Amino acid sequence: MAYFEKRGDSWRAQVRRKGYPTISATFDTKAEAQRWATEIEGDMSRARFVDIREAEQTSVADALRRYRREVTDYKKGAKQESTRIDRWLEHPLAAKSLATLRSSDLAAWRDDELQAGKSGSTVRLNLAIISHLYTIAIKEWGIQGITNPCASLRMPKPGKARDRRPTAQELTAIKEAALSYHRELPIIIDLAVETAMRRSELLTLRRDQIRGKVAHLEDTKNGDRRLVPLSVLARDLLASLPTRIDGKVFSIAPNSVSSYFPKACADAGVSGLTLHDLRHEATSRLFERGLNMMEVAAITGHRTLTQLKRYTHLSPHDLADKLG
């Protein structure tokens, strides 16, 4: 049965039915309250009623904080995703409830971000958090009456794959400049180009992981175990480093490498090159050495041909020489 009560300038409607929770809502007019109560009673009588109170009472901000505790903190990329969550928490959309956040809200946010100069890939990563948040809220938290607002959202195209390859002269100049920042940095640059290992894989490498001609990576970015073959040059570079008591190969921190590399590039007069471009360069060189796709993927750890293709930029001049 529905009950109506006037409170100041508004009307409060309350619906009570055996077997269902008591539902109430406030409206500007009695007619609106009556229409709402009729719809709720109809859904209850047809066993179509869905209790959306939890969805209405849970803000996107609260859900994101719970998501960070229960999901993000257990991911390998927790630090990066946590930073994205912080940005969402600062946005006005975070004040909306899970029940009221709409695709149109996110579409407007997407367009604003792209207009502000954010890349399509960055926008996609941020939207992926919201999408997975709703998936977890529905499947694991059991919050009823919500749908994923990203499901019908047009995602921006990912950014173009980087194709910047350093020349031999540029690498030499960068390594000379890098030496003034840290004695290990030139060796790290050479190993990145020689092995296609990620920054985190190189900087967390331990001596006991290097066994003969192979580096055994037990815990990689995608969670797979990977064996990286080491060339003669790579083995010589590793052997040139002093043995540390803590068992680590390098003493420099990963964040320091990320900080020093662009400074070394600037000192060397090299522009448009990032540290991660060295992994692209290494992947391209593996193909140019004559290795096939399966062999390269086994070294780099790429799971799909699409991923591998984004990291491969063969020299058109070398290809022209092969054509004769």
Same domain (yes/no): 313, 214: yes
The pLDDT tens digits for 159-184 are 676 788 899 999 999 999 999 999 99
Beta partners for residue 4, in sequence order: 13
Is residue 19 scored above 90 in pLDDT?
A: no
Same domain (yes/no): 85, 199: no
Q: Which spans in the chain are helix H?
A: 30-45, 53-57, 60-70, 78-90, 103-115, 120-139, 168-178, 185-195, 199-203, 232-239, 254-268, 277-288, 293-300, 305-310, 316-323
Question: Could you tell me the pLDDT band of residue 315, with boundaries at 50, 70 and 90?
Answer: low
Which residues constitute the domain of residue 91?
A: 57-139
Same domain (yes/no): 114, 196: no
* Position 134 in a domain: yes
Query: Cα–Cα distance between 226 and 299 in angstroms, integer?
Result: 7
Query: Cα–Cα distance between 243 and 22 in angstroms, integer?
Result: 70
Query: Cα–Cα distance between 210 and 208 in angstroms, integer?
Result: 5
Is residue 193 scored above 90 in pLDDT?
A: yes
pTM score, two decimals?
Answer: 0.65
The pLDDT tens digits for 248-302 are 999 999 899 999 999 999 999 999 999 999 999 999 999 888 888 888 888 888 8
Mind telling me the catalytic residues?
198, 221, 276, 279, 302, 311
* Position 200 in a domain: yes
* Position 163 in a domain: no
Same domain (yes/no): 179, 278: yes
pLDDT cut 70: percent of the chain above it: 92
The pLDDT tens digits for 50-87 are 566 777 789 999 999 999 999 999 887 888 899 999 99
Is residue 320 scored above 80 in pLDDT?
A: no
* Position 156 in a domain: no
* Position 266 in a domain: yes
How confident is the model at residue 265, as a pLDDT? 97
Same domain (yes/no): 14, 90: no
Query: Cα–Cα distance between 290 and 295 in angstroms, integer?
Result: 10
* Least confident among 36-50, 126-140, 204-218, 284-298: 36-50
CA-nearest of 37, 197, 73, 63 to 135 is 63
* Position 80 in a domain: yes
Same domain (yes/no): 195, 238: yes
The pLDDT tens digits for 92-113 are 999 998 888 888 999 999 999 9
